[in-house]
Chain A
Amino acid sequence: MKLAVTPFNISSIKPLANAGADIFMLGNEQFANRLVYSFPLEELKEATNEIHALGKEIYINCNLIMHNDDILAVTEFLQQILELNVDGIIYGDIGVYMIGLELGITTKMIYNPETLNTNYFDSIYWGTKNIKGITISKEITLEDIILIANQKQTELSIVGHGYLNMFHSRRPLIENFYKYQEKEYNEYVNNRNLHLVEEIRNEAYPVFQDNHGTHIFREKIMQSFHEILTLSQHIDVFIIDGIFCSQDYVLNVVTDYHAILNDKDKKNANTIASKYKEKHDTGFLHKKTVYDKY
C-alpha cells in the first residue's frame, strides 16, 4: 500500500517524501475542489519533475463539478497535464472522464466522487471502463471496505486521515449571509479560519467559500492508526489529506503511518494511535450509518 499526501508547496515535497510519502496529489483551484494549496501550471511542471526525480508518483486532482463553461478549459488543462507525464488524474465528475476518453488517457484516471463509490460493484464497473482506480466513499465501514477490495478490478484508495468534507453547495453561502445583513463580506470569502456550530451540538465544523461554492467539513480529523495494517492488506493507496493542518503535523502523521507499516507491529500502532486521541476519530470505519429505521 502506498501513502498519498497533499503537499503544501514545492518545498514540502522532499520532506514528505523522506517521511514516507509515495504519491503526491496536487491540483489547481480552477479545476479542483478543497485543495491544500493551488499550484499554478508552472509549479505543477516543477513539482512533477521533483517528484519523479525522487522516484515518487504524482496524481493531479481535477475533481471539480464541471459545468458546460468549464469544458474547454478542462480539456486544455488535461492536455497540458498529459505532456507532464503525470501518473494519475483524479476526477469526481463523469464529464471529465468523457474528456479523458477523447484524449485517450483513461488508464491514468481515478474516480473519486466523494459519496458515490459505496459497494463492491463500483470498482468492477469502472474496471470495465479501463480506468486506473477509484476512491471508496468516506462513509463506508472497514468491513465493507474489505468486501469491496475482495472483488476490486481497479486500484483502490481511501481517504484514511484528515478533515473529511461532508457538504458542497454551488451557492456562495457565506457571501449571501453577509449580503443579507448588508455587511462587508470580502474578508470571509476564501477564509479558511471559519467554522459553524449547530445550535444544539457543541461541535465546530470547518467551512469556507471559494470559486466552486461552499464546503463544510467534519469536526474531527479522521485517523486510522489502528486500522492501517489491516487496510494495507486490501487497499492500494491510503490518502492523508492535509487540509486545515500544518506541514509539521502532516510530516508527523506520515512518519507515524510509515513506521507502523514498516514495523508491522500492532503494539507500536497502539502507542502511536494514543498520540492522536484528542480531536481525532475513526470516521465511519466502525460506524454504520442507518439505512432502514425510519
Chain B
Amino acid sequence: MKKPELLAPAGDLEKLKIALMYGADAVYIGGKKFSLRARASNFDISDIKEACDFAHSLGKKVYVTTNIIPHNDNLDGLIEYLQELESVHVDAIICASPVIFETAKLHTSLELHISTQMSNTNYKSVNYWQKEGATRVVLARELDKNELRELKEHTDCHLEVFIHGGMCVSYSGRCTLSNNLTDRDANRGGCAHSCRWNYDLFEEDTQLNKDMHFSMSSKDLQTVRHISDLIDIGIDSLKIEGRMKSIHYIATVVSTYRRLIDDITDDLDVDLPKYILEIKKAENRLTSHGFMEGMTSIDQQLYNMRSENPTQEFVGLVLDYDETTFIATIEQRNYFIPEDELEVFSPNFAPLQFKVEEIKDIHDEVLDAARHPKQVLKIFVPFKVSKYDMLRKIT
C-alpha cells in the first residue's frame, strides 16, 4: 500500500517547523508576491530559503503558492521571483494562471503543480495540465470518492486532494462575490468570505425566509473516516487547508492525520473515534466530509449559527526542559493557574496529563496565574517534554 504525502499549511516559519515536527511530509507556504492569502504570507525569500533548508534537512519538502490570477499590472518581477524560488531549492510551485505557469517553464526548472483555483473536476483537464508539463494537479473540492477513483484510473498525473479545513462553497476560482460586494478581488488574495454572510431570500417582493436567514456557509472539511479509501484509491498527496491557522491547530490536525495514515498503511487496527475526538480539539467550526460521499446536503451547511466554536484551550508552548530539575520553560498562550489539569501534546508520545504546581517567571518570582501572552514561564512537569510540545488545559 502506497503511503500518500501528508501536506500541511504554514503561515510562518514557526508554523512550518511545527507542521514538519508533528508529522507533515511537506508544507506549502506563500511568499509576499503572487500568492493568495496575502495576509498569511510572511515569507520573504530568506525565510523561504530557511524553510527549504529546514525541511530538506528532515528529508521533507516545501511548495510555494504562486496562485493568484494576475491582472496586467501584477506581473512585475515575476521572472526574477520565480528564479529566486528556484535558487533556494523550493520543491515545487503551486500555480493557476497560464502566465505564471509558462513563465516558470521558460525561465526555471521549477516543478509545477496546478492549484485548486483552476477547478479541475475531470481527468481530461488533469491530463491537459500533465501534457503541458505539470507534475501534479490539486483537484477541486467538489469531487466524491467514486469520481476520484475514476479520475485516478484515467491519469498518470499526481493527484492532490484536500482532506481538512475551510471550504469555498463555490467552485474555487470561479467566484467574484467578494469583488462585487466589497471590491476585493477573491482571485488575487482579497476574498472577504461574503458567502459566509447572512442573506434574506425573496421571490419578487415576497420575503421567503421567515424564521432564519438564508445561509450558504459551508462546514469545514474533516475526512478522518475517508483516509483509508483515499489511500486505497492511490491519491498521491493529502492536503490540509489553513495558512491562517494557529500552531495548535496545525499541530493537532497534522499529528492526527499522521498517526491515522501510519496506522492504515502499517495495517494496524484503526480507532477512528479516537482520531475524531483528537481532531475536535482543534475545531473552531463544525465539520463534515464535504463532497466525499457525493452531492452535499444540509449536513454540509452551517445554518442559524455564528460558526465559530471555542477550541480546546492551548495554554503554552514548551521552549526547553531541564531533566535534572524537571522544570519546563514555556511560552504562555492562554490563561492558566496552579492546580489546573494540563495535557502535554507532543509529536513524540500520546498525550500525558499532569497538575500545575508553582508557576514562576524567568526571575523565579512565583505567580498566582499565567496571565500574559508570550510571557516566558517555568513550571514543574513530572515527565520529559521537548521543545515544540504543547500544553492544553483539560476542560
Which residues of chain A have a CB within 8 Å of any CB of chain B? 65-71, 93-99, 113-116, 118-122, 125-126, 138-140, 144, 147-148, 166-174, 176-177, 179-181, 188, 191, 193-199, 201, 204, 207, 214, 216, 218, 284, 287, 289-292, 294
Closest to A141 in B: B71
**A interface, by DSSP: helix, strand, loop or mixed?**
mixed
Q: What is the CA–CA distance of A172 and B296 in the complex, to the nearest angstrom?
A: 8
Min CB distance, A97 to chain B, in Å? 7
* Segment among B208-216, B323-331, B361-369 that sits at the interface with chain A: B208-216
Asked if residues B98 and A125 are in contact (CB atoms below 8 Å), the reply is: yes
Are B188 and A291 in contact (CB-based, < 8 A)?
A: yes
B380 touches A (CB below 8 Å): no
Question: With A118-B187, A168-B175 given, is the CB distance from A180 to B301 under 8 Å?
Answer: yes
Pairs of residues from A and B, 6 with the lowest C-beta to C-beta distance, nearest first: A95-B124, A121-B99, A95-B125, A289-B185, A98-B124, A125-B98
Chain B residues lying within 8 Å of A98, measured Cβ to Cβ, are 124-125, 127-128
Provide the bound-state CA to CA distance between A168 and B1, in Å.
37
Q: List 26 A-B contacts (CB under 8 A).
A: A66-B124, A68-B122, A71-B122, A115-B175, A116-B118, A118-B187, A139-B176, A144-B73, A167-B195, A168-B175, A169-B216, A172-B295, A173-B169, A179-B298, A195-B201, A195-B202, A196-B199, A196-B200, A196-B214, A197-B202, A199-B199, A289-B179, A289-B183, A289-B184, A291-B71, A294-B189
Contacts of B203 on A, CB cut-off 8 Å? 188, 191, 193-194
B85 interface residue per 8 A CB criterion: no
A67-B147, A289-B183 known; 18 other A-B pairs, CB under 8 Å?
A68-B150, A98-B127, A99-B124, A114-B174, A115-B173, A115-B176, A119-B75, A119-B97, A121-B102, A138-B176, A139-B185, A147-B72, A168-B171, A176-B301, A193-B204, A196-B214, A197-B200, A291-B189
Distance between B133 CB and nearest chain A CB, rounded to angstroms: 13
Query: Which B109-127 residues sit within 8 Å CB-CB of chain A?
Result: 118-125, 127
B contacts, CB < 8 Å to A:
38-39, 69-75, 96-99, 102, 118-125, 127-129, 142-143, 147, 150-151, 154, 169-171, 173-177, 179-181, 183-185, 187-190, 194-195, 197-204, 208-209, 211-216, 218, 291, 295-298, 300-301, 303
Closest to A140 in B: B71
Q: Do residues A291 and B185 form an inter-chain contact, with CB atoms below 8 A?
A: yes
Knowing A67-B147, A171-B296 are in contact, say whether A118-B128 is a contact too (CB < 8 A).
Answer: no
> Are the CB atoms of A144 and B71 closer together than 8 Å?
yes
Residues of A within 8 A of B216 (CB): 169, 171, 173, 214
Q: How far is the CB of B341 from chain A (nearest CB, A)?
A: 39
Bound CA–CA A147/B69 (angstroms):
16
* B123–A113 CB distance below 8 A: no
B171–A169 touching, CB < 8 Å: yes
> Complex: how many Å from CA A67 to CA B125?
10
Q: Which residues of B contact A167 (CB under 8 A)?
A: 170, 174-177, 195
Q: Is the CB of A113 within 8 A of B184?
A: no
Do A68 and B298 have beta carbons less than 8 Å apart?
no
What residues on A are CB-neighbors of B154 within 8 Å? 68
List B contacts of A169 (CB < 8 A): 169-171, 216
The answer on a CB contact under 8 Å between A171 and B169 is yes
Distance to closest chain B CB from A275 (angstroms)? 24
Tell me the bound Cα distance from A289 to B209 in angstroms: 32
Chain A residues with Cβ under 8 A from B119's Cβ?
A: 65, 93
B75 contacts across to A, CB distance below 8 A: 119
Contact yes or no, A218 B180, CB < 8 A: yes
Closest beta carbon of chain B to A74's beta carbon, Å: 9
In the assembled complex, how far is the CB of residue A72 from the closest CB belonging to chain B, in whole angstroms? 11
Report how far A214 CA is from B175 CA in the complex, Å: 12
Shortest distance from the beta carbon of B270 to any chain A beta carbon, whole Å: 29
State whether B97 touches A118 (Cβ < 8 A).
Answer: yes
On whether the beta carbons of A177 and B176 are closer than 8 Å, the reply is: no
Q: Which residue of B lies closest to A178 (CB)?
A: B208
Contact status A67-B128, CB under 8 Å: no
For residue A233, give the distance in angstroms from its CB to the closest CB of chain B. Answer: 18
The answer on a CB contact under 8 Å between B123 and A68 is: yes
A194→B202 contact, CB < 8 A? yes
Q: Complex formed: what's the CA distance from A139 to B179 in Å?
A: 8
Q: Are B72 and A204 in contact (CB under 8 A)?
A: no
Among A94, A115, A179, point to the contact of B187 (Cβ < 8 A).
A115
In the assembled complex, the Cα of A167 lies from the Cα of B180 at a distance in Å of: 10
Considering the chains assembled together, what is the distance between the CA atoms of A122 and B71 in angstroms? 10
Rounded to whole angstroms, the CA-CA distance of A61 and B287 in the bound complex is 37
Q: Which residues from A are CB-within-8-Å of B211?
A: 181
Please name all residues of chain B whose beta carbon is closer than 8 Å to the beta carbon of A140 when the two chains form the complex. 71
The docked-state distance in angstroms from the alpha carbon of A116 to that of B97 is: 7
**Chain B residues, CB < 8 A from A191:** 203
A220 to B301, CA, bound (A): 28
Q: Contact between A176 and B296 (Cβ–Cβ < 8 Å)?
A: yes
CB distance from B112 to the nearest CB of A (A): 14
Q: In the bound complex, do residue A284 and residue B179 qualify as a contact, i.e. CB atoms below 8 Å apart?
A: yes
Q: How far is the CB of B260 from chain A (nearest CB, A)?
A: 27
